[in-house]
Amino acid sequence: MNVSNLINNYPEAVAMILFGIGFSNLLLQKNLIKKIIGLNIMDTATYLFLALKGYIFQRKAPVVVDGITQAEHYVNPIPSGLVLTGIVVSVSVTALMLSLTIRLYRRYHTLDLDEITTRIRKEEN
């Protein structure tokens, strides 16, 4: 493992650091909104990683304009397709999480998940 590899591939390293930030936020934050922000950072980091891997230096997006049909002129379109699918998934998941958060906030007037748990316990006893 040498450092020059890491420096040469710094975009991937950035993606992984972002993934770590998002992951730990989703796991450790108590505030539900911050958790959701963490989720979005995590997903976006994965899409950044995918997009980086699909990009080939000095090539263009795979849209035929000047009648050039050889594959050598274009980047790999599959990762872009995967990113699009992934974005759809993460948008729907985020919407679901936000709606659940609204439900909980209306009922317990707080966004702190641990506080919500204690209030539920209190309510039942």
Partner 1 sequence: MDFVQNFPFISILLSLFSGPLTSILNGKWAKRVNTLVITVIGFLSGAVLFYVLGTGEAFVYRMGHFPAPWGNEIRVGVLEGFMALFFCAVMLLCMLGGSAEREREIEDSKQNLYYIMVNLLLCSLLALIYTNDLFTAYVFVEINTISACGLIMIKQNGRTIEAAVRYMIMSLLGSGLLLLGICFLYDLTGHLLMSNIKEAVAELAATGQYHVPLFLSLGLISVGLAIKSALYPFHAWLPDAYGYSTVSSAAILSSLVSKGYIFLLVKIFYRVIGFSVVCDSKVINVLFVFGVIGMIMGSVSAIKEGEIRRMIAFSSVAQIGYIYMGFGLGTEEGIVASVYHILSHCATKSLLFVAASGLTDASGGSRKFPDLTGAGYRNKLAGVAFTVGSLSMVGFPMFSGFISKLLFAQAAMEHDRKMMITLVALAISTVLNAIYFMKTVIRIYTPAAKGYAHPDSRRIPLGEQPDKNLALVFFILLNVMLGLNSEPIVELIRKGLGMFS
Contact positions toward partner 1, by CB under 8 A?
19, 22-23, 26-27, 32, 35, 39, 42-43, 46, 49-50, 53, 78-79, 82, 85-86, 89, 92-93, 96-97, 100-101, 103-104, 107-108, 113, 116-117, 119-120, 123-124
Q: How far is the CB of 120 from partner 1 (least distance, A)?
A: 5
Sign, CA torsion 75/76/82/84: positive
Output 8 or 85, the one with its CB closest to partner 1: 85
* Residue-by-residue DSSP string for 88-101: HHHHHHHHHHHHHH
Structure tokens that stand for 25 in this block: 């936020």
Smaller CB separation from partner 1, 73 or 119: 119
Q: How far is the CB of 65 from partner 1 (least distance, A)?
A: 23
CA distance to 7, 20, 93, per residue, from 81 (Å): 28, 24, 19
Q: Which is nearer to partner 1, 64 or 91 (CB)?
A: 91
Selection from 58, 60, 21, 15 nearest residue 38 by Cα: 21
Report the residue number, 4 or 65, with the smaller CB distance to partner 1: 4
- Distance CA(71)–CA(123), nearest Å, equals 64
Report in angstroms how near the CB of residue 116 gets to partner 1 at its nearest: 6
